[in-house]
Structure 1
Amino acid sequence: MRSLRTGLSLTGLVTAAALLLTAPAAHAADTPLRDLASAKGKVIGTAVTGSKLTGTYGDIAGAQFSSLTPGNAMKWGTVEPTQGSFNWTEADQIVAFAKAHNQQVRGHTLVWHNQNPSWLTNGTWTSAQLGTLLQNHITTEVTRYKGDIAAWDVVNEPFNEDGTYRSTLWYNGLGSGYIANALTWAHAADPAAKLYINDYNVEGVNAKSTALYDLVRSLKAAGVPIDGVGLQAHLILGQVPATLQQNIQRFADLGVDVAITELDVRMQLPATDASLAQQKADFKSVTAACAAVTRCVNVTVWGFTDSDSWVPGTFPGYGAATPYDENYAPKPAYYGISEALGGTTTTPPPSTGACSATYSVVNQWNSGFTGQVTIACSGASLSSWKATWTYGAGQQITQAWNAGCTQSGAAVTCTNASYNGTVPDGGSVTFGFNASWSGSNPVPTVTLG
């Protein structure tokens, strides 16, 4: 992108940036991800929130993905918040949506140390009582969705980083045998469902993944029903393990399926062109590693849009971890997945139109001023925007509206609010700010991205 510079008097206007757009794509690749995956004998999935499965969110979830994972709707704390009182509303909603869109459902999760109801975690149970509670929970939930769930994450996150068993309600009360029992009970409730053990930081060959490997091998040797392993793949930008495909293959060689179950790639915010390009490479690398191993059957992203991601709330300063931005526009990461599944991405030709940013000082006094920037498009459009500039005389933004503005030293970055990222052809968006100045107020050169 190229910005155009022009001058500005203190009370005048400046066309601070007029950019020829080499095009953030306004739509996804022509061939949906689910069709590309199917052609390779794979399933492509996403975690979803049931209440959002309408409008654009629902359209994308239904068109692009062949599998849905309830993000929270099937966890114990959701389905049985009070002992003996069940709430299946959101889980039923997701299952019904999947049926209507010819999708699989991946059940998540039956046995976990988190998101359990307080009546369970605060109770005082004998080992026998705890075992009965667990068996009843698994049997009740799996039986309800018998025939509707292709695969269950039966046991979630049983290991510490060093490969020892995690100290949990289940391990402390029942010993490591709870894992085999849970798998056995789930199989009895629905013999057709594929049963998985799921964990994080097990994507590469390391102590934790080796402990999981040894467990699966021992379970198979004992005749316990275990069909697969889930590698969560909550990754940091640029840190896809070099041994990912090797690790997938060694599990496959045990005679079990492998799924990438919770893929996202978080980055420090704000996102840059360079970080988005690296994220594309990371999504492509993970998807390609799965595509290369016959028994790697599923790649599921943990939410497909940044507006539905867990990352910002858990890792302050990080985000932008999914294939779609907050306005449901596909990011480079989307095309990384597509390319790894054999899709061809045609870069849209440069637009003959342009979007420009007009900077104005609308009021000025002895120690401060009010400014605004209007972003307008003609023959082009934006699905999100970012305006950046560097102040030359110590000016400091003190307040902004209709945009999120941050200043580091002299560098200012303003990005769209959740409600005004889209600038259609022929449309415009304006944001404003107050700032301080002293001595002089030279004109900044603004770059629009």
Structure 2
Amino acid sequence: MSFRKFFDRRWAAATALGVATTTAAVLAVAAPGTSAAASGLGGVAEASGRYVGTAVDPNRVNDGSYGTILDTEFNSVTAENAMKWDALQPSPGQYNWGAADAVMQRAEANGQLVRGHTLVWHSQTPQWVQNLSATQLRQAMVDHITTVMTRYRGRIAHWDVVNEAFEDNGSRRQSFWQQKLGDSYIADAFRAARAADPTAKLYINDYSTDAINAKSTAIYNLVRDFKAQGVPIDGVGFQAHLIINQVPGDFRQNLQRFADLGVDVAITELDIRMNTPADAQKLATQKADYQKSFAACWAVTRCKGVTIWGITDKFSWIPDVFPGQGAALVWDANYQRKPAYDGSVAGMGGTPTTTTTTTTTTTTTDTPPPGGCTAVYRVVNQWSGGFQVEVRVTAARARSGAGR
């Protein structure tokens, strides 16, 4: 719809209803056929065939603007906890699908890609699993992967099959998985995942791997060996739980060397924390760091997208784990966009508009008829192929009947 037609319809509606003031937001989606969520950050990403996602807790969708931001800003979602083993199968063979299904249903209604997180991890795995013998543990792993992936077969695009299997020095993490099953458990998990859903892209996921270092090199060697051995693996996830002013200078080069092995890469859990309280200087640094992180992905053809690990600082995991640190996300605790939002847009090659002091405001030149209304719009967000505007329509006070 053209803005001329939009204004005509708004004037007619306002006059007919005798409304004093109406404010509306219009979304111009990046391209025909894109998802309903293809506005905001997701809209910028879709212009280059990528995604920007967030970690979601379905129990918080009614808190403040949480649900609105979730539905309109992202074209991908990851269940923050609802698809982890302790949430899905707390007792042997007893599955709780409610929260995971809620994530799936909302994402599908919005046309959002879903990343599954996570199938095999040493943390948030019930004690009954950890107490199994080696033979029982291997079977439980295969059964869990098969059951979960079969339920969502063809609906979840990417799965973090194995999570955090390495130490920072590049050695295998001595988890109960490693101690009982040895090195083979990772390959076995990927084989079971491929059998359960041949269409899903299978990822290994870890933290402190954003730079070229001992840990990322160990995973690089694992992926190289898997490719040579025919073990099914499609991607590597880089969590990127970062600190302001510490984005690795070789982030892009690191992503590229994995892509050169013939696998996809993605930034899967991005947040950039600071010592709190936040101030203007720290927020400006964070903005630049978000821009660098997005730009690193966008510079690598096989980088599929970025998932920000949460929507609002109000619910971030950071302060509980790193006391005195936080403010790591793109929206603050009051659901207000931070400068990091513009940094993310800029990193994708978009045009930041939301946190600058300059806005575009235009008043229509049409003269409304007596008893009509005026309209003013301003651009509040813009990306390649689309933009978002806020329109304020003001109707004149309706005239009274004749003779008064």
TM-score range, shorter chain: 0.7 to 0.9
1:116 counterpart residue number: 125
2:99 counterpart residue number: 90
Q: Which has the higher strand share?
A: 1
Output the CA distance in 2 between the equivalents of 1:167 and 1:345. 45
1:58 matched to 2:64? The reply is no
Code of the aligned partner of 1:240: V
2:137 to 130, 140, 164: 130
1:70 to 71, 79, 90: 79
Post-superposition Cα deviations, 1:130-185, rounded to whole Å, max 9, x if no partner, equal 11011001101111111110000000001011100000111111111100110010
Confirm or deny: 8 A CA contact 2:129 2:137 kept in the other structure.
no
2:156 to 149, 154, 160: 149
Output the CA distance in 1 between the equivalents of 2:255 and 2:83. 27
State the 4+ residue runs in structure 1 displaced beyond 3 angstroms: none
2:339 to 312, 319, 332: 332
Task: State the secondary structure of the residue aligned to 2:350.
Answer: coil
Confirm or deny: 8 A CA contact 2:50 2:305 kept in the other structure.
yes
Code of the aligned partner of 1:171: Q
Paired residues, what number?
A: 322
2:388 counterpart residue number: none
Code of the aligned partner of 2:197: D
1:342 counterpart residue number: 349
Deviation at 1:47, TM superposition (A): 0.4
Q: Could you tell me the TM-score, scaled by structure 1's length? A: 0.70
Output the CA distance in 2 between the equivalents of 1:259 and 1:111. 19
1:178 counterpart residue number: 185
Segments of 5+ residues of structure 1 without an aligned counterpart are 1-26, 351-449
Paired residues for 1:401-420 under 5 Å: none
2:255 to 244, 248, 252: 248
Deviation at 1:349, TM superposition (A): 4.1
Q: Which has the higher helix share?
A: 2
Paired residues for 1:312-323 under 5 Å: 312-323=319-330
Deviation at 1:276, TM superposition (A): 0.3
Task: State the secondary structure of the residue aligned to 1:59.
Answer: helix
Code of the aligned partner of 1:70: A
Paired residues for 1:19-418 under 5 Å: 32-54=40-62, 56-121=65-130, 123=131, 125-346=132-353, 347-349=356-358
Post-superposition Cα deviations, 1:61-107, rounded to whole Å, max 9, x if no partner, equal 11111110000000001111111111111100000000011001100
Confirm or deny: 8 A CA contact 2:312 2:333 kept in the other structure.
yes
Task: State the secondary structure of the residue aligned to 1:46.
Answer: strand
Output the CA distance in 1 between the equivalents of 2:57 and 2:263. 29
Taking only aligned residues, the RMSD between alpha carbons, in angstroms, comes to 1.6
Task: State the secondary structure of the residue aligned to 2:307.
Answer: strand
Output the CA distance in 2 between the equivalents of 1:335 and 1:221. 41
Deviates more, 1:133-142 or 1:50-59: 50-59
Task: State the secondary structure of the residue aligned to 2:46.
Answer: helix
Post-superposition Cα deviations, 1:10-38, rounded to whole Å, max 9, x if no partner, equal xxxxxxxxxxxxxxxxx9x9961111101
Output the CA distance in 1 between the equivalents of 2:89 and 2:335. 33
Output the CA distance in 2 between the equivalents of 1:53 and 1:335. 24
Task: State the secondary structure of the residue aligned to 2:65.
Answer: helix
Deviation at 1:307, TM superposition (A): 1.1
Deviates more, 1:172-181 or 1:338-347: 338-347
Work out the percentage of aligned pairs sharing the same amino acid. Answer: 54
Post-superposition Cα deviations, 1:173-213, rounded to whole Å, max 9, x if no partner, equal 11111001100101100000000000000001000000000
Output the CA distance in 2 between the equivalents of 1:95 and 1:219. 30
2:379 counterpart residue number: none
Confirm or deny: 8 A CA contact 2:343 2:352 kept in the other structure.
no
Code of the aligned partner of 1:52: R
1:18 counterpart residue number: none
Confirm or deny: 8 A CA contact 2:66 2:311 kept in the other structure.
no
Question: For the pair shown, which has the larger CA radius of gyration, 1 or 2?
Answer: 1
Segments of 5+ residues of structure 2 without an aligned counterpart are 1-24, 29-38, 360-404
Q: Could you tell me the TM-score, scaled by structure 2's length? A: 0.78
Output the CA distance in 2 between the equivalents of 1:253 and 1:152. 21
Output the CA distance in 2 between the equivalents of 1:294 and 1:308. 32
